[in-house]
Amino acid sequence: MGTPLVVWGASGHARVVADIIGLSKEYDIVGFLDDVNPERCGTEFCGARVLGGRETFDELRRQGVQHVIFGFGDNRARLTLGNLARAEGFCLATAVHPSATIAADVAIGSGTVAAAGAVINPGARIGDNVIINTCACVDHECLVDDGAHVGPGVRLGGKVVVERGAWIGIGATVREDVVIGAHSIVGAGAVVVANVPARVVAYGVPATVRKAALTDGQG
């Protein structure tokens, strides 16, 4: 039996997280939390049940559940709720798919998810509550800060910095030594060859800033 764990979130990304957890054998999922859709309480999801929302914390602790992992993409929410979960006495679990390739010296923070086919090369540092999504490549000496999301198929060149809460959309390519500013959004398929400021939306080939970001990340 693995360590009991609850997945906070019950949508598409939660399915991915649950699959990784199931393959790792380190944790056993006791259920899912959903604060957005309270009517789902008691329904089946990914082989377990939706237990409710954060109002279940006391009962979970009484049952000996001490670990939580997030199963949703909203960067700002992962950052905020990560602090809340810790304040409530929970530890943030980390999930790495068995097919991910992680260099021996890579530092990965708590709550982070590395999906199938992800590659994280030597010298990289990955913060807390980060998503390195399916087949994304984080090259040598990159820094991906807390709450960021590196989308499916993204390619980060060496020494790229992805600041706190930034979102890089599916299939984007980021040239070496580039900085993606905090809470910015890089659109799908973009080719980023110059630094992106904080809290903007940038896309295109080459990527250019198109507008201010309205939110701190995507849902």
- Catalytic sites, residue numbers: 140
Describe the strand order of the beta sheet including 185-186 as a list of residue ranges. 95-96, 113-114, 131-132, 149-150, 167-168, 185-186, 200-203, 208-212
Contact indicator for 5, 28 with CB cutoff of 8 Å: yes
Of residues 22, 106, 67, 110, the one with CA closest to residue 118: 106
Contact indicator for 96, 114 with CB cutoff of 8 Å: yes
Alpha helices in the chain (DSSP H): 12-24, 57-62, 75-87
Of residues 119, 127, 122, the one with CA closest to residue 143: 127
φ/ψ (deg, to 5) at 190: -65, 155
Q: For residue 158, what are its two tokens?
A: 């060496």
SS3 83: helix
Q: For residue 35, what are its two tokens?
A: 């604060």
Q: For residue 109, what are its two tokens?
A: 């923070």
Element (H, E) at 52: strand 48-52
